[in-house]
Structure formats: structure tokens, C-alpha cells
Amino acid sequence: TQLLEQSPQFLSIQEGENLTVYCNSSSVFSSLQWYRQEPGEGPVLLVTVVTGGEVKKLKRLTFQFGDARKDSSLHITAAQPGDTGLYLCAGGGGSNYKLTFGKGTLLTVNP
């Protein structure tokens, strides 16, 4: 069974601070996705990374896929209250249709 561990589980910071959240596994994934979920809504896809070492940027968010494709990180620069939400990583295994989800990091950005 492929497992994804996310850390930290909870993170509360002030507006303007930088932060990094992590997604780790002992398994290799062919692709890794990050989602953000707001209260009362479903997760929304932010990015997909497929190549070991790949870095993608989405405005103030930077996503990195580990060289061995077993881990990933999400860095947010100058966090804003609108960044508040549950950040989920999900790993895919090639032709395996199943996405394995981590339990998420609950981020609160205080004004």
C-alpha cells in the first residue's frame, strides 16, 4: 500500500510570512498532484508534477517534486489570508488510475 505522509499537520502563521509543507513517501510515484480544499468545498487541483526534480510556480506558490519521485514540497511566499485551507498531496502510479491522498496540512493565515 502506497502511503503519503504530510507535515506539518497544522500550521498557523501571520500574513506575510513564508512557509513550506512537505509530502513524503517510501514509494515512487509517476506523478504527484497538489490540491487545496476550502471549508465546505471539494479539493481543487493546483498543480501536477511528473518529472523527478521538477519545479513549478503558481504565483506565490512553488512546488517541487523530489529527484527520486518519492517526495514533494510546497512553498508559499508572503502568505495571505486567502491561502487558508487544507493542502492535500496525491500520488499517482503510472497506469494505475488510483490517486493516493495524504491527510493534508491545514494552513491558517491570520491577518
Partner 1 sequence: DAGVIQSPRHEVTEMGQEVTLRCKPISGHNSLFWYRQTMMRGLELLIYFNNNVPIDDSGMPEDRFSAKMPNASFSTLKIQPSEPRDSAVYFCASSPGLNYGYTFGSGTRLTVV
**Least distance from C-beta 46 to partner 1, angstroms?**
9
CA angle, corner 34, sides to 51 and 81, nearest 5? 135
CB contact at 8 A, 49 and 73 = no
Minimal distance, residue 108 CB to partner 1, in Å: 16
Among 25, 33, 64, 72, which residue interacts with partner 1 (rule: CB under 8 A)?
33
Give yes or no for residue 50 binding partner 1 (CB under 8 A).
yes
Q: What is the CA radius of gyration of the chain?
A: 13
**66 forms part of the interface with partner 1 (CB under 8 A):** no
> Using the rule CB under 8 A, is 42 a contact of partner 1?
yes
Give phi and psi for 83, each to the nearest 5.
-85, -10
Cell (9 digits) for 29: 510515484
Q: Does residue 102 touch partner 1 according to CB under 8 A?
A: yes
